A and B are shown apart, each in its own frame.
Chain A
């Protein structure tokens, strides 16, 4: 035996087409009009964002649509400063979990509109419990990135 072991390099890349279902389809269609719509569970009364067709707590169907606010509160956040394949943005950038006014669960999305050159300065501007507001893209296609980011409300 030579003690050598070579590497076979390969790549698994496959095309996908993911069915959204009616509820998610409508949720994203409302984005085109800059509306954020959730669904309210008739049993536990929670307003769910993104809108769902069923409540996993009560385990029943949900079909009451309610509009939630464009503003919300940062539940937690992170400044991302590393890279991985398939990443949606060049680092550094900020991701937060935002609880929109009128919703009972949080939505993970970008936080923007703040300078990214100094993490310590950043931490003064982006804080847990502070308000942020949705900033929409000019051209909207009906997906989660129609909201460009959430920016701090001064």
Chain B
């Protein structure tokens, strides 16, 4: 049994420091909005999928069991998926398989994080094994700076040029976030501001780095027959998914020609029948907790040749009005409730291809790519979403 899967509703919370609500209340906010967007109620949903970062992030083990009431999941099947930064995309995939398997026709997926309740960098340091890597890989910026330096060195990219391209991406993301009602960081910034901001982990500067946010995102997925039954007018079809993981040891694999990212995109393109992503994709939400990393992903996803990502920025291909606008939501760079982040990427593509993205709508967007990265710089997941089934 295999059936086509559509996303028929999205619900996002405003993100930021959400001390106004408890963790379950935050979840409930996203879930209610997904119901409102789809015209459905909790009783209509057949199964639920949920996830977040390591539960140490909020200090409550088994968050899926803590969220049951808030998700309307009581008396339903529930699975928790968690794969670190890629949790949101892994969640979208888990939900996809619930429907694609034929076991269910209407399934809700929720990802969330409340990063102001714990110690995000302290939590993330516990992702590294305690024997070899934990003392050195404390916190995310360090890891990504290692990767970024290696990338620039591999292709002989001038530091000044890379920094400029990264700064332009930072400005683009910050500008776009101003138009996204759910975004966390809403600050107008300039290239000069980025270049002058404090070094966090060289070469990564303050304005190259994402925040930690409180926020939740919910999606509702339906089978083709349920889309017809409910008379959904603007379904967003999941056309392809790809996911790939690699070694636990950071130094083992190549993080520049990054095989897990390459494989994840290839797998999704193959299912979606995409041979030239630069031409066939209208919009992409590339997971970009760090500006430098966004460029590295352009290369791995085949948006350009290896070593050429700076050109995509310099020629404004990835800016609004370009061939392949990226991260019109403002991206992870401006909003990062980690367990929800991959779902937010997915939700933005759903909104874009169904023409519901409001002020940040990319004109004529029909097919888009959503992505998230996780593990110890180790997992990549991709989903291709289109407004048509074929």
A14-B59, A54-B25 given; A59·B72 CB < 8 A:
yes
B residues 244-285 with Cβ under 8 Å of A? Answer: none
CB of B299 within 8 A of chain A? no
B123 to A14, Cβ gap below 8 A? yes
Separation of A22 and B25 alpha carbons in the complex (Å): 10
Q: In the complex, what residues of B have CB within 8 A of residue A17's CB?
A: 116-118
Contact yes or no, B18 A19, CB < 8 A: yes
**Dominant SS among interface residues on chain A:** loop
Residue pair B22, A20 in contact (C-beta under 8 Å): yes
| Nearest CB in chain A to that of B60: its residue | A18
- The interface residues of chain B lying within 8 Å CB-to-CB of A54 are 25, 28, 69-70
Would you give the 0/1 interface string for B115-130, flagging 1 where the beta carbon is closer than 8 Å to chain A?
0111100110010001
Q: Tell which of B25, B28, B117 touches A16, judged by Cβ atoms closer than 8 Å.
A: B117
Q: Does B136 have its Cβ within 8 Å of any Cβ on chain A? A: no
Among A8, A20, A24, A59, the most chain B Cβ lie within 10 Å of the Cβ of A59
Interface flag for A56 (CB, 8 Å): yes
Known: A56-B68, A56-B70. A18 touches B130 (CB 8 A): no
C-alpha gap A54/B69 in the complex (Å): 9
User: How many cross-chain pairs have Cβ atoms below 8 Å apart between A and B?
Assistant: 65
Q: Are A14 and B25 in contact (CB under 8 A)?
A: no
Chain A interface residue count, Cβ-Cβ cutoff 8 angstroms: 20
How distant is the Cα of A10 from the Cα of B22 in the complex, in angstroms? 31
- Contact yes or no, B25 A21, CB < 8 A: yes
B320-342 interface code vs A (CB 8 A; 1 in, 0 out): 00000000000000000000000
Residues in A with CB closer than 8 Å to B18 are 19
A54 CA / B126 CA spacing, docked (Å):
34
- Residues on B with C-beta less than 8 A from A22 are 20-21
Interface positions, chain A 18-61, Cβ under 8 Å from B, are: 18-24, 52-54, 56-57, 59
Contact with B along A56-75 (1 / 0, CB 8 A): 11010000000000000000
Closest A residue to B118 by beta carbon equals: A16
Complex CA distance for A57 and B214, rounded to whole angstroms: 26
Instruction: Say whether A15 faces chain B, with CB atoms less than 8 Å apart.
Output: yes
Q: Which of B23, B41, B42, B68 sits near A19, CB closer than 8 Å?
A: B23
Q: A8-B131, A56-B69 are in contact. Are A19 and B74 (CB under 8 A)?
A: no
Inter-chain contact A14/B118, CB cutoff 8 Å: yes
Tell me the minimal C-beta distance from B32 to chain A in angstroms.
8
Q: Quick one: given A8-B131, A12-B56, are A56 and B22 in contact (CB under 8 Å)?
A: no
* Complex contacts, B117 vs chain A, CB 8 Å: 16-19
Contact B123 A59 (CB under 8 A): no
Residues of A within 8 A of B70 (CB): 54, 56
Judged by a CB distance under 8 angstroms, whether B114 is at the interface is yes
CA distance A37 to B319 in the complex (A): 54
The chain B residue with its CB closest to the CB of A57 is B74
Contact of A18 among B22, B28, B43 (CB under 8 A): B22
Cβ-neighbour of A10 out of B32, B69, B116, B130 (below 8 A): B130
Q: How far is the CA of A23 from the CA of B22 in the complex (A)?
A: 9
Q: For chain B residues 6-59, which have a beta carbon within 8 Å of chain A? A: 18-23, 25, 28, 32, 35, 41-43, 56, 58-59
Find out whether the CB atom of A18 lies under 8 angstroms from the CB atom of B23: yes
Q: Which residues of A contact B41 (CB under 8 A)?
A: 59
Instruction: Give the chain B neighbours of A53 by CB distance below 8 A.
Output: 21, 25, 28
Contacts of B69 in A (CB 8 A): 52, 54, 56
Q: Judging by beta carbons under 8 Å apart, are A24 and B22 in contact?
A: yes
Report how far A150 CA is from B58 CA in the complex, Å.
30
20 other A-B residue contacts (CB within 8 Å) besides A14-B56, A18-B58: A10-B130, A12-B126, A14-B59, A14-B119, A14-B122, A14-B123, A19-B18, A19-B116, A19-B117, A23-B25, A24-B22, A52-B69, A53-B28, A54-B25, A54-B28, A56-B69, A59-B41, A59-B42, A59-B43, A59-B72
A-B contacts, 30 listed (Cβ < 8 Å): A8-B130, A12-B126, A14-B56, A14-B118, A15-B118, A15-B119, A16-B119, A17-B116, A17-B117, A18-B117, A19-B18, A19-B19, A19-B23, A19-B114, A21-B20, A21-B21, A21-B22, A22-B21, A23-B25, A24-B22, A53-B25, A54-B25, A54-B28, A54-B69, A54-B70, A56-B69, A56-B70, A59-B32, A59-B41, A59-B42
